[in-house]
Structure 1
Amino acid sequence: MDIYAFPPVAALLDAAYAMLMWLAGALEPLAGSAAAAASVVVLTVLVRALLIPAGIAQAKAEQTRSRLAPRLWELQKRHRRDPERLQRETMKLYADEKASPFAGCLPVLAQAPVVGVVYTLFLHTAIAGHANALLAEHLFDVPLGASLVGTLVAGTATAATWAVFGGIVAVIVVVAEVTRRAFRPQVHAPSGDAGSPGLPGGAAVAKLAGALQFTTAVFALFVPLAAALYLAVTVTWTLVQRLVLRRRYPLAPA
């Protein structure tokens, strides 16, 4: 069974297709042949604007976790040999503080279906039974439905392909590095434990979190150009938003 032919999914894709086509038409006087690419940028900005309240919730959650970090460290130190007790005490601490260790995950979760829709729109020749005109759109002579890896495998990669994808990946990598440097996880340890590295495994977690910042750049090599463009805009928006909100909701001193 083709899941994209399932009526609710087909209707969702058709609505997203109609929105992008309308945006492309509205932007054509300004963007010319890049109107469809510009419509993806506008869609990304609209989605991220709708998620600003969730971004604020995420910033508040980071602030709460920072404030609770020394107490969490104490719990980890006290109950490290009893994982079940540690989990109970940790959840009790969050409950007492009316907080959640999972608070602020909405922006990440909400992005996944949007990326999936953009990916699908520029992957299939037909949407809801009609021809997909978006596949005829280009950005600097590179089809919005082409991926870098796909063009390399097919032997159709051009200088424009390398330049466009190279520029997008460069933006994502630079943003990832700035994000990694600006938002390194704080290490908290109680006074008197200055020689401790903080929470057990904290250094490894911090390194993993830094490495994960760059997975988006790798992902952008495999998805259609339109989806890669969406990723570049959204990571840039995320960085700027986090910098602004970090000033509004600063973390507790380490």
Structure 2
Amino acid sequence: MSVFTPLAALLAQLANALQPLFGGAAMAAAVIAFTLSVRLALHPLARAAARGERIRARLAPRIAELNTRYKGDPQRMQRATTELYAKEGVSPIAGCLPTLLQLPVFAVMYHLFSGSGGALRQHALAGAPLGGHWLGAVRAGGVFGPQAVVYLAVFAVIATVASWTYVRARKAAAQAAPLPAAAPGAVAGLAKFLPLLSFGTLITAALVPLATGLYLATTTAWTAVERAVLHRTPSEPVPAPGGVPSTK
């Protein structure tokens, strides 16, 4: 038995439960409900990431002081920065975990509704097969045809969330402290690349089955709302310079 079989059965059962409410769109509703369940399970990690971002912003003056004090000694700068972040219980990669842990879920959703996914891909949303692709919908009825309009609605959600997320991420990056010198180059690069991921999601949604596009639209919308709620918490007071950990 394939590892995907229980997941397919779970989605089918969820769709059956939602049938009285959503009729022929029950499977699409099941995909959205499944996505929301995954994001709810990952919420504690998102809360930890938000806490880490607030702490890094609070420590920004002390990181700047370290940069000045150990400008000519990168090794001491690395040790001091690492100690400071460790003392505060902050990990430079914590903010990436909720995104990285969703990759297996994305892969599962793609498999279940791809050509090898079986019966699930035959379900539809407003006439557009959940296993279909945007280009196929365009070929069937044009860019604004009945099926393609469903994809355009998904794209509109992702594009709106991507723009809003990008603006907020840029503002947050301008206020946050830099990553510690101990962070690998790949981590630093990923932190800079993350604000652009939502726009990449828009391209991805045009290439994957519609059900996977629904997953992407739902998870990006959840992320935007989640971050807005978590970051409403006022930042902690910025400490006065000093108290930098010793590197002796």
TM band (smaller chain): 0.7 to 0.9
Indicate which of 121, 126, 140 corresponds to 2:126. 140
The answer as to whether partners of 1:34 and 1:138 remain within 8 angstroms in 2 is: yes
How far 1:208 sits from its partner (Å)? Answer: 5.0
The answer as to whether partners of 1:59 and 1:249 remain within 8 angstroms in 2 is: no
Aligned to 2:208: 223
Where 1:33 maps in the other structure, the secondary structure is: helix
Within-5 A mapping of 1:1-254 = 10-11=2-3, 13-80=4-71, 82-125=73-116, 132-149=118-135, 155-156=139-140, 158=142, 159-183=145-169, 184-187=171-174, 209-248=194-233, 250=235
Map Cα deviations across residues 146-190 of structure 1 (whole Å, 9 max, x no partner).
1214555xx445412321111111111111112222342243599
Distance 1:50 1:208, change over 3 A: closer
Gaps of 5+ in 2: 181-188, 239-248
The answer as to whether partners of 2:113 and 2:130 remain within 8 angstroms in 1 is: yes
C-alpha separation in 2, matches of 1:102 and 1:163: 38
TM-score w.r.t. length of structure 2:
0.79
The amino acid of 2:89's aligned partner reads K
Q: Give identity over the alignment, percent.
A: 41
Where 2:167 maps in the other structure, the secondary structure is: helix
C-alpha separation in 1, matches of 2:211 and 2:201: 14
Map Cα deviations across residues 215-254 of structure 1 (whole Å, 9 max, x no partner).
111111111100110111111111111111111353667x
The answer as to whether partners of 1:60 and 1:249 remain within 8 angstroms in 2 is: no
Where 1:211 maps in the other structure, the secondary structure is: helix
The answer as to whether partners of 1:73 and 1:189 remain within 8 angstroms in 2 is: no
Distance 1:210 1:228, change over 3 A: same
Where 2:115 maps in the other structure, the secondary structure is: coil
C-alpha separation in 2, matches of 1:174 and 1:236: 9
Distance 1:19 1:189, change over 3 A: closer
Would you say how many aligned residue pairs link Structure 1 and Structure 2? 225
C-alpha separation in 1, matches of 2:155 and 2:212: 12
TM-score w.r.t. length of structure 1:
0.78
Distance 1:165 1:90, change over 3 A: same
C-alpha separation in 2, matches of 1:189 and 1:164: 39
